[in-house]
Amino acid sequence: MFQTPRDYDYKKTHQTYELAQASMLKLWDAFLLLMGWCSFLLSHFHKPIPRSGLNIQQWELLLNMAKFSLDYIQIIKASELVNFPLHIGEQGIHQTQ
């Protein structure tokens, strides 16, 4: 769908500082797109699993099914990527408690 940071050969040796800097800027742009896409998907699947009785979000189950380690899933759960403090309702946007 879009290029990932790996597509930019960030481990490659560049002949000049300017070429290395240009490569890193492209890498940074790819990283931002990837993080935005991850955040979008996590927010889309940020719903509790129905009738589970546990504090497990749908995205956690999907990552587990994709063979992510449980430690890595917990790191993501504790990160700002899944911090969605705003609630949009009939009254507009407000902070949830």
pLDDT, tens digit, 9 for 90 and up, residues 5-23: 777 777 788 899 998 898 8
Q: 90 is in which domain, residue-wise?
A: 48-97
**Per-position DSSP letters for 26-72, written without gaps between them:** HHHHHHHHHHHHHHHHHHHT-SBPTT--SS-BHHHHHHHHTT--HHH
Could you tell me if 34 and 64 lie in one domain? no
Kindly state whether residues 55 and 84 are assigned to the same domain. yes
- The pLDDT tens digits for 26-39 are 888 888 888 888 88
How many angstroms separate the CA atoms of 66 and 4, rounded?
Answer: 19
Domain count along the chain: 2
Name the band, by pLDDT with cuts 50, 70 and 90, for residue 97: very low
76 shares a domain with 52 = yes
Task: Say if residue 56 is in the same domain as residue 87.
Answer: yes
User: What length does the chain have?
Assistant: 97
CB 7 within 8 A of CB 46: no
Tell whether 40 and 53 lie within a shared domain. Answer: no
Residue range 45-92, pLDDT digits in tens: 988 888 888 888 999 999 999 999 999 999 988 887 777 665 555 555
pLDDT at 62: 93
**How many CA atoms, within 13 angstroms, populate the side-chain half-sphere of residue 50?**
0
**Residue type for position 70:** L
Q: What pLDDT is recorded for position 39?
A: 86
